[in-house]
Structure 1
């Protein structure tokens, strides 16, 4: 599925479409260059899941936890990790097995730990600044 965001006001609709597309899947991988809007989009996705508190980037903490309307949500940002062992050290596999929704930025850093089924969200930045969202089920 491919959707285009012409501005920030497009994001709630795209987040809603992602949740419909995902059905019962709980693992989401977010790919895109630096400043593509991964965290900004995740904020809208969390709002769509009923998160009431402020959603922020876990760049330094690696993981943030939120409570949604129906599910616990873990938001990971692996940009700063140097080795896959750092993901082991925070108990990443236990998070995946918890049944919670897992939103993962920079998944290429922990590729060997990824489950076999997930939703991939690729965000591309067009020359005019628009964002192109590609959703796929893996």
Structure 2
């Protein structure tokens, strides 16, 4: 899979819909991008498209947020603040990753040895103050 989309915040709903259509049955998403690129913004929209009715926020301090959807759960991780991979293991990340539920992982570079096979990489690049490019691969 190799797809790129250029979008603005006004297009985020359509981008989330297209992304979900393109990835099929995949459930593990790794989000790459600089601080402020829009990883959490895209994850919020994906959660909305999947049926989350709760307020979706960044799990920067809790490491993981859990949301219920009609078909199960979504686990949203933010590993930016990890000191090492052991912290992710201690919080039970592998149980989440192999649960069969959606896992949206921000800053996956902090846990390189723990990433499950069969994941989708989503890279977000800032093109301007309003434009982003997403690469799905």
Interval of TM-score (by shorter of Structure 1 and Structure 2): over 0.9
Whether 2:6 is the aligned partner of 1:4: answer yes
Quote the RMSD (CA, aligned, Å). Answer: 0.9
> How far is 1:128 from its partner?
5.2
1:16 aligned partner: 17
> How far is 1:70 from its partner?
1.5
| Structure 1 runs (4+) greater than 4 angstroms displaced | none
Secondary structure at 2:57 match in 1: coil
Q: How many residues align?
A: 135
2:90 aligned partner: 89
Whether 2:104 is the aligned partner of 1:99: answer no
1:53 aligned partner: 54
Unaligned runs of 5+ in 2: none
* TM-score normalized with structure 2 length: 0.95
Unaligned runs of 5+ in 1: none
1:132 aligned partner: 133
* TM-score normalized with structure 1 length: 0.95
